[in-house]
Amino acid sequence: MKVKGSMLRFFCNSDILPDIDHILGTFWGLLKDGTLLQHSVASLFRVTVGFYLAVILSIPIGIFLGRCRPVYRTLDPVIQFLRPISPLAWAPFAILWFGIGDMPAIFIIFFASFFPLLIAAVKATSSIHPMYFQVAANLQLTRWNSFWNIILPAVIPNIILVIRVSMGMAWVVVVAAEMIAVKSGLGFLIIDGRNAMRMDRILVAIAAIGVIGLILDHIMQRLERIESVRWKLEQK
């Protein structure tokens, strides 16, 4: 009961947390002068670049490794060694390699998104029944036709859910990366508010992170509503 009472006093203490009117006033001020929009756009830019670079590279590489099992068995120990490492652990090296700016955050986001997508693409490709490729060989389909008509339709539905989870992870990581490696973005806005002892600015930034994360997740959910994807997911 003592602990609960202390927590209640913490959250009710106006000297620690500002009242709702103060928070709304700060939100309006940051929105009006463009500060909130500027930092939100900076975070979204880094997530977009890092995440889509991961998608563009991980899916083709995963398909290749899924089709070339000896190569995958050779590289799998390296992948399994790198995959569990926290992306933020690379922040000091990212800063040394790229300096302060967008690139360290983009690199960290790329690292956070790459391996889940790679593994999903490998598993989806390797699970395709060999009969489909035998039929393609009998029909004398080219590699491009086999990729377009067999591999891609089989892989995409299986990695849609991973794409959604990876996007959420990328959004979490960008905020953490901006607290370390850059001087803009919603993560930086939180650190800046902490340094200035402005809890109202911190709470506004946290609310913006939650709202934008919700919107991004809604966008990813819409991918699952594509007819072919929904049919595949419903078969599981």
Distance CA 216, CA 162 (A): 14
* Statement: residue 143 has pLDDT above 70: yes
Specify the CATH number of the domain 34-234.
1.10.3720.10
Mean pLDDT over the full length of the chain: 81
Q: 196-230: buried (b, 16+ CB within 10 Å) or exposed (e) per residue?
A: eebbbbbbbbeebbeebeeebeeebeebeeeeebe
Helical ranges in 68-101 per DSSP H: 69-82, 91-98
The per-residue pLDDT for 236 is 47
The per-residue pLDDT for 115 is 92
* Statement: residue 14 has pLDDT above 70: no
More confident residue, 103 or 151: 103
pTM across the whole model? 0.78
* Triad 206, 201, 112: Cα angle to 5°: 35
More confident residue, 134 or 209: 209
Highest mean pLDDT among 13-17, 105-109, 194-198, 221-225: 105-109
Tokens 């067999």, residue located: 150
Distance CA 15, CA 1 (A): 23
State the pLDDT confidence band at 45, using cuts at 50, 70 and 90: very high
* Statement: residue 107 has pLDDT above 60: yes
* Statement: residue 102 has pLDDT above 80: yes
More confident residue, 118 or 160: 118
Candidates 168, 167, 190; CA nearest to 40 is 190
What are the domain boundaries of the chain?
Answer: 34-234
